[in-house]
Amino acid sequence: MSDEGFHLGAEVRSSDGKDVGQLAHVLVGPDYGLRALVIKESGRFSGYLLSPGSLLVNDEFIVPKEAVKSAGHNRIDLGLSAADVRRLPPYLAYREKQESVAQGLEDSAAALGSGPDLPNWMEQIANKPEGDLEIDGGENVMLGRTGKRLGTVQDVLFDDDELVGIVLKPAGWFKSDVILPRRFLDRSDDLALFANIDEHDVENLKPFQPGG
């Protein structure tokens, strides 16, 4: 595996040269070791381009780290054929919300003819262990549990398959990206990462230099 690590948005190709999608999320365990990649399928690979008016229920799937043959800044090559990739499990599952029958009927009626949006009576469930940390591009990074936003995730930084930090775009105008080491990362929920760091200390973080 390349020592350049993994980068959000990198192109992902199968062993037989098919463009299967882009790296959307990374899943890391409690020890900050890489567990898996979550790939967003390309329109052609998912078949959506062949029938653009159809409902695409799920266009993200899980790739175990063992399936990665090489990883560079702009491209990830898998050791799996396109046929094998199509057998990988989806990242999101769907289930009915626990609510009254009356609410369900009302939501169902509202959803008819509303297009490809998820019906109100269903919810998405991420197919990952509870203790795993999901990191997404553009995800909010919050200052502890204060409700204040430090910034957003621009990229992830790996040393081989170990997360060493994230590239943070601080909130506000004209601020350069900085490296937030993993020791400042707390757990996440479905909407954000949480950082145990003083707001003023963000100014002392090392600036991120692409390719450096």
How does pLDDT run across 79-137, given as a tens digit for each residue?
Answer: 999 999 999 988 876 666 665 544 554 554 444 443 445 566 566 677 787 778 889 99
Handedness of CA 174, 191, 32, 26 (dihedral sign): negative
Per residue in 159-182, pLDDT (tens digit) is: 888 999 999 998 876 678 999 999
Residue with tokens 């601080």: 170
* Percentage of the chain modeled with pLDDT above 70: 74
- Quote the pLDDT of residue 211: 64
Homologous superfamily of 1-91+127-135: Photosynthetic Reaction Center, subunit H, domain 2 (3.90.50.10)
* Sequence spans of domains, the chain: 1-91+127-135, 96-122, 137-204
Q: Which of 179, 178, 182 is nearest to 163 (CA)?
A: 182
Same fold: 1-91+127-135 with 137-204: no
User: What does the mean pLDDT of the chain come to?
Assistant: 80
pTM assigned to the model: 0.76
CATH of domain 137-204: 2.30.30.240
Distance CA 128, CA 35 (A): 10
User: Which amino acid is located at 16 in the chain?
Assistant: D
How many whole angstroms from its chain centre is CA 25? 2
